Amino acid sequence: MPALALADWLRSLPDDRMASLLRARRDLATPPPSDSTVLATRAGTPGSIARACEQLDSATLSTYEGLVVAGADTEPVTPQRLAELLGDEPAPAGLFELALAWDDPDSGEIQIPPGARETFGPFPAGLGDSVPSLAGTEPDALDLGEDERALLQKLSAGPPIGRTRDAAADVPWELAETPVQKLLARGLLIRRDEATVELPRELGLRLRGGAIHRPGELAEPELPVHPHGQSTVDEAGAGEAMELLRHAESLLRTWSDTPSPVLKSGGLGVREVKRLAREIDVDETRLALLAEVVAGAGLVAASDDATPEWVPTTLTDSWLSSPSAIRWMTLAQAWLELPRLPGLAGQRDEKDKALAALSEELRRPNAPMLRRRVLSTLSGLPGGAGVKSVDELVAHLAWHAPRKGGRLRDDIARATMSEGAALGMVALGAITAAASALLEDDPHNAASAMADAMPTPVGEVLVQADLTVVAPGPLEADLATEVTAVADVESAGHATVYRVTEASVRRALDTGRTADDLHELFRTRSATPVPQGLTYLIDDVARRHGRLRGGAAASFLRCDDEVLIAEVMAHSVGSDYALRKIAPTVLVSPHPLAELLDALRGAGFTPAAEGPDGRILDLRPSGRRIPARNRPTQRSSHAPAPISEEQVSAVLAHVRAGDRAATTRRGTTVRLPAGGGGADTSATMALLSQATREQREVWIGFVDSHGTATQRIVTPVRVGSGILEGSDNERYPLHRITSAALVEA
């Protein structure tokens, strides 16, 4: 049997080859196989073979497919026959490394386990079942019409089956009218059922020129690259990273003020996506990516309210106050480990339903592994080299692992390149130094590399006569806070333009800043002379600001100008908010102060809030926050952890010990049934005691902790207290020993 032949082949492998096999095929080592026969049986199961095939490149996989076509699962195949089928040089080395095939050391003939056939389905290489009587048939020598030849050529390209009503009944050659009927009548097609025909394997091969592939078809595709300097790539990536941070911050602040409702089915609604994209000034695809990344980083979560909303978490404030490189690293790391596909948002499923961002429909557990595979390929290129075409990269990845990734493999590769570019991990088709460090699970160096690549923060702005403030680069943190407080962003980019307005100056004064503070800001931080118009604007707003002051009564208003008090009382705000005069210059209201001041501002007044000490207060809400969700501390969504060297050594020793026990000559065996009878127990104890006294090796059969029956050769050093202790420091509970025999010399 092939399984036994595989066991013999495995038994003959040196330890280093066996160790490599166990590392490459992790499933073979769990639980530890008792010997090479069990290992071979496990390696030949269809499920294990399918997993191992995910590691094969196209050339090696086609070699395996050729072995299936040649019938190597039933009888050995010569390398010459395999080469004829492939039409190219076979590549069986990778198959031998993974024990997917094995060769005879003398003849070189190759065999594969029977389970391999199931891996390739009913039509390996797109060929049908064999009809030996057609062997040697040359289609060109047959008297066939053009329609019959065209049909045969179409089926020969695979799959070899076709559905047609002409297969319903046998029609003699002389009465056949259609191409299908004529080919069936001549035995050149096989009837599978009343509506299905199949092209025999022999004809399919001949129509392909005798090989399952065209010459050169299995060659590895080239991956052309553009040479770039690594610093150029890093700077381009840093520019995109700055844009990402700006948009992410805008999204978080928008959600702080106006959280989006969670759909009943989960996710973010289409209208909300459009609204947020419009407010942040990005397209809907980028908005979906931003939402997925900030949620993946734990900065946003669905609230637990009766009507849940997407709300920033308590992690948002610390993230907003962190340095740019740290903020980028948080988002980039979240994307790298995100078990979801943001690019699917907006697409439609099988039921023509739109897939929503942040919904469960976007979950794909293998996404992190496939992202890492794309980035690892870029990381393997020379420093700064970028691929010329994403399609060429997709073809390169597909050739190296055609069975890995499922039907979305190519789409994920393309999405990784576009999303990676948006996050500053990929630029000019190359991977950035920061992304390379993150790929190696080194967040410290990743943040350091991104900080080095980002533009140096500037400490000055350019104030223009039209009351715009130009930031020629990223501002220092304290300067950015001050400028944002007194001006509104008008346009963003590498040079951000702010505009100072009456409303923005009033906002700055509302936060407790004074006119002198604002004058000092622009005087000391502007590289250009401060225009007179800006000075007048600040002074004019400051002169009117705070003349009307409020407090809590629930709230109160006070003003030295009795005429202004009278205007407020005469306005509809006075009645709407139940204002009551308690002094010529003081009004009180039962409504919250923040609501009262908002109403007064809406009516054209310019009030300010004051605290118990009379100083200006900033009553603007900082936005909603909810507790951050617990996030996994370890990656669980990409490739499983590799087997350790200690585990490899232990499993290898386990298999070798089992092999030795299986092939050792032994004397009369004493059997101990489960539960054991007294006589059998005495006989076994006597045999083990004899082996201990004489220091002879003994063969034992036992059931291990996994419930698997196995066997070992042991030199006993002590028997007692229900334990057999061997010279290898292994301990075998006597109640697990089912049989024993002395080893013969």
Task: Dump pLDDT digits (tens) for 210-226.
Answer: 888 776 777 888 899 99
pTM exceeds 0.85 for this model: no
530: DSSP letter:
P
Q: Cβ(393)–Cβ(413) under 8 Å?
A: yes
Query: Which carries the bigger pLDDT value, residue 721 or residue 631?
Result: 721
Q: Which long-range contacts (CB under 8 A, 24 or more apart) does 661-667 make?
A: 661/35, 661/699, 661/710, 661/711, 661/712, 661/713, 662/35, 662/37, 662/711, 664/697, 664/699, 664/713, 664/743, 665/743, 665/744, 666/699, 666/741, 666/742, 666/743, 666/744, 667/741, 667/742, 667/743, 667/744
Torsion angles phi and psi, residue 536, rounded to 5: -65, -40
How does DSSP classify residue 77?
B
Collapsed DSSP state (helix, strand, coil) of residue 360: helix
> What is the average pLDDT across 565-570?
91
Local confidence band at 666 (pLDDT 50, 70, 90 cut-offs): low
The pLDDT of residue 667: 61
Q: Which single residue is written with the structure tokens 């030795």?
A: 660
Confidence band of 679 (pLDDT split at 50, 70, 90): very low
Strand partners, 430: 427
Residue-wise pLDDT tens digits, 286-339: 999 999 999 999 999 999 888 999 999 999 988 988 889 999 999 999 999 999
| CB < 8 Å & 24+ apart, contacts of 492-499 | 492/243, 492/246, 493/243, 494/239, 494/242, 494/455, 495/470, 495/471, 496/470, 496/471, 497/468, 497/469, 497/470, 497/471, 498/461, 498/468, 498/469, 498/470, 498/471, 499/467, 499/468, 499/469
* Contact call for residues 64 and 95 (beta carbons, < 8 A): yes
Whole-angstrom Cα distance, residue 160 to residue 125?
10
pLDDT bucket at 744, cuts 50 / 70 / 90: confident
Whether the per-residue pLDDT at 650 is higher than 80: the answer is yes
* Mean pLDDT, range 545-560, rounded to an integer: 78
Residue range 388-394: average pLDDT? Answer: 94
Lowest mean pLDDT among 165-169, 265-269, 316-320: 165-169
pLDDT at 180: 85
Domains and CATH numbers, the chain: 132-207 (no CATH), 225-453 (no CATH), 462-544 (no CATH), 549-605 (no CATH), 664-742 (2.30.30.100)
Amino acid 678: pLDDT: 43
pLDDT surpassing 80 at residue 493: no
Q: CA torsion sign, 374 to 376 to 380 to 381?
A: positive
H-helix or E-strand spanning residue 510: helix 502-510
Closest Cα partner for 265 from 353, 359, 364?
359
